[in-house]
Every structure is written in C-alpha cells, then in structure tokens.
Amino acid sequence: MERNIYNVCITVHNRDLAFDAVSSHLHEYAPHIRLRVGYPIPEYNMSVIFIVIELSNDELGAFTGKLGQFSSVSVKSTLIKK
C-alpha cells in the first residue's frame, strides 16, 4: 500500500474534555508522525495541533476518523504532494 504525506490540523475546542484522549491517540501513531506542533490557547480552553504524518489513505481515514469521534475535536487533513 502506498504511503503519502499528509498535513493534519486538529482543533481541540475543550481541552478539559478531550486533550488526554487526543494525546493518547497521537502517541499510538508516533512512529508515523514526522512533525507535531501544538499551540495551547488557555484563555479559550482550546488547543490547535499541527501534524505531518506519513500513512496510507486507509490508515489516514482510521487516524482522522477516530480523532473526529472525540467530543469537542475537529480535524482537517490535506495531502502534501511529493
């Protein structure tokens, strides 16, 4: 299966509810993550996390799909052309 590089933006709208679950899920995919940058916005109880990850299309669907199931989390991904 061909692996591609993707840019994933994860917005955690309520850090109290979802941050631990998101961090745990990202830890599971750590071997595939090439870059992870997080910006907490404490005055709004939010965080924005930018990920560059190398996965197959099916793996990306599983990765983002699970993130999207967490309460108060939104996810957007784009393919980075090689």
The closest alpha carbon to 46, from 2, 9, 1, 5, belongs to: 9
Q: What is the pTM of this model?
A: 0.92
Full domain range(s) for residue 33:
4-80
Q: How far apart are CA 46 and CA 14, in angstroms?
A: 5
Would you state the pLDDT for residue 1? 81
Would you state the pLDDT for residue 66? 96
pLDDT band with cut points at 50, 70 and 90 for residue 37: very high
What is the average pLDDT value for the chain, to the nearest integer?
95
Chain centre to alpha carbon of residue 18: 12
Q: Looking up tokens 């679950």, which residue turns up?
A: 21
CATH number of the domain where residue 27 is located: 3.30.70.1150
Would you state the pLDDT for residue 67? 95
Span 42-68, pLDDT tens digits: 999 999 999 999 999 999 999 999 999
- Count structural domains, the chain: 1
pLDDT surpasses 90 at 75: yes
Could you tell me if 6 and 76 are in contact, meaning their C-beta atoms sit under 8 angstroms apart?
no
The closest alpha carbon to 48, from 35, 63, 38, 33, belongs to: 38
